[in-house]
Structure 1
């Protein structure tokens, strides 16, 4: 999933690099690994999920782990111990999940911002933080629900003036825009059936059969100008790399004129060799959602 992928893959192959991969299935990343640690799938280990709704959900181990697979959290602990950090990780393999949670909750341990205890999370299907006096907070900063508010109105108590802060930033142009040599915008993303790189979903027969390979969606007018029809072979090139794949016209998506869309789930078509790794200086998020490319009929 790394943008400008060739740069990072070539870097991983340099002398002196040592790449450790914790993985469930073989991937292009494990192809460049020096060590592969077999990991347990989420249903094969105990753990927690948290989301932007402030909801924490505990899950028990549901099925046995295959072979020598282990939770990637325990792998990190074992590696840390071998690096000399035994004192920082004193937990046993039988109780380390609960121990980690108990340590994590110390960072929120104030009367109005506590997390739900481990036993409560085990007993319930999900609990919203903050968890105060046995109750979860459904709406934060709302005085009717959030015990940290000073009154019954909205109180953004994290700020000195108790009001919400909205940051306005000036427009900045994209790091790379279409020009005469590379006249199209490239946008990348997902399809419904496959999650991210498809390393798991492509192994599910019904999902793989629904979308067996990646493709490039092209606006019908642009396709007509280039003499392209569905399944025509198209070469997509940027200043960083290129690949050849089939065209999709009036299919699932219909991008605007001057833009093409490529899903990135298919390791047979590494579109991230084409994408851009310029990044936002504030969020550090790479700008691989848009870059300039050219199209050629093959």
Structure 2
């Protein structure tokens, strides 16, 4: 039995608890860490595991499952990075939603955005409405103009993935290296190069003692050193070049097909069964979490009787900054819409192609109706994709979030629907 889920589980005010419950089912039934049986969370985009969670680009994390709150972890990171003891703060910084709130308050003076389009994706978008030159400084690196570049004080031309080299890390623990296929146009540069150059100009060049034209491998090897001997062993950059990706931990050049499973994972000491050797706080055993019911931050009522759920469609990727520029994809799904259950559409007196107005406690928007579409929302629920910058549906969503993961609750807020 394999359980697959994505943002429909994660993006809730109790998304972490929902993940706990799915994992619980696999633990109590023994369907875990063996061929054909595992809970499998599908991340929201390529390399969300490899270049966020594994690398440690969240405010509370360091590479290889280390965290800033533990001094022994900070000591390791400071030694590898060659910075004085005490450089890394013990307290995590702002998580994403709070960071944008702090930016709008002026507590954060400068923000640099790469690889994302927050002026489309952030919940309750009205809270971050701003124009360049308002006393704060926003830098955006991107390959196309977006609502986020429009909000920027400085735009830096970035390189697309085929215009650079690097490595992806996905949900199955596979790390895969790729080479640059074409040169970036004009002055476009890859994101990491931009960061390194700014650091050098700020007097921190000694932290990046790598050849100017060949820094990818030494950077990766520095990062790789965090996990060696800790159950997070990655293959060397050279080995990744020669393969089609390897599943970590990679020990003595061999990948691990099934993690925590005896006979497959070199860190497992048992002769059979599973051994959760990373669960140090639980005696290296599985923890089953009992989670209570917790009501949503906002529920339908007489004034706002519908649930609103946002998400993606097959043809358009996330905010559509790339896919809307592909002719065939744009023709297939040219603009956002609100999908309704046929029963609700009948009660409202609307059909596919009719215009309606969605109203929440935070904003309102007019858009076309779609009935009997692919989303198939249940009675009392409306679905709107968020890819279309001309229909900023996140002006209606609320910014309640999971208090553990800090992921916003994009999957439910209350709206009313008015026929136009």
CA contact 2:168–2:175 (8 Å) conserved in 1? yes
Q: 1:243 aligns with which of 365, 376, 389?
A: 365
Instruction: Note the aligned Cα RMSD (angstroms).
Output: 1.4
Q: Structure 2 matches for 1:122-141, cutoff 5 A?
A: 122-141=241-260
Count of aligned positions: 297
Q: In structure 2, how many angstroms separate the alpha carbons of the residues matched to 1:235 and 1:112?
A: 53
Deviation of residue 184 (structure 1)?
0.5
Q: Paired residue for 2:185?
A: 66
Deviation of residue 247 (structure 1)?
0.3
Q: Paired residue for 1:210?
A: 332
Query: Structure 1 residues 201 and 112 mapped into 2: Cα distance closer, same or farther (>3 Å)?
Result: closer
Query: Structure 1 residues 121 and 148 mapped into 2: Cα distance closer, same or farther (>3 Å)?
Result: same
Q: Paired residue for 1:157?
A: 277
CA contact 1:58–1:121 (8 Å) conserved in 2? yes
Deviation of residue 106 (structure 1)?
1.0
| TM-score, with structure 1 as normaliser | 0.96
Q: Paired residue for 1:220?
A: 342
1:55 pairs with 2:155: no
CA contact 2:175–2:246 (8 Å) conserved in 1? yes
1:178 pairs with 2:297: no
Q: In structure 2, how many angstroms separate the alpha carbons of the residues matched to 1:98 and 1:29?
A: 31
| TM-score, with structure 2 as normaliser | 0.69
1:2 pairs with 2:114: no
SS of 1:21 mapped into structure 2: strand
Q: Paired residue for 1:294?
A: 416
Q: Paired residue for 1:266?
A: 388
Q: In structure 2, how many angstroms separate the alpha carbons of the residues matched to 1:140 and 1:226?
A: 52
Q: Paired residue for 1:145?
A: 264
Query: Structure 1 residues 120 and 274 mapped into 2: Cα distance closer, same or farther (>3 Å)?
Result: same
Q: Segments of 4+ in structure 1 off by > 6 A?
A: none
Q: 1:192 aligns with which of 292, 303, 314?
A: 314
CA contact 1:217–1:262 (8 Å) conserved in 2? yes
Alignment gaps of 5+ in structure 2? 1-120
CA contact 2:268–2:275 (8 Å) conserved in 1? yes
Higher helix share: 2
Q: In structure 1, how many angstroms separate the alpha carbons of the residues matched to 2:252 and 2:291?
A: 40
Q: Paired residue for 1:101?
A: 220
Q: Structure 2 matches for 1:12-91, cutoff 5 A?
A: 15-91=134-210
Q: In structure 2, how many angstroms separate the alpha carbons of the residues matched to 1:194 and 1:282?
A: 29
Q: Paired residue for 2:69?
A: none
Deviation of residue 90 (structure 1)?
2.5
Deviation of residue 110 (structure 1)?
1.3
CA contact 2:337–2:369 (8 Å) conserved in 1? yes
Deviation of residue 242 (structure 1)?
1.1
- Higher alpha-carbon deviation: 167-176 or 18-27: 167-176
1:255 pairs with 2:377: yes
Deviation of residue 232 (structure 1)?
0.8
Deviation of residue 52 (structure 1)?
1.5
Deviations 1:158-193 (A, max 9, x none): 234232123232221111111111110000000001
Q: Paired residue for 1:119?
A: 238
Deviation of residue 96 (structure 1)?
1.5
CA contact 1:156–1:163 (8 Å) conserved in 2? yes
Q: In structure 2, how many angstroms separate the alpha carbons of the residues matched to 1:219 and 1:128?
A: 42
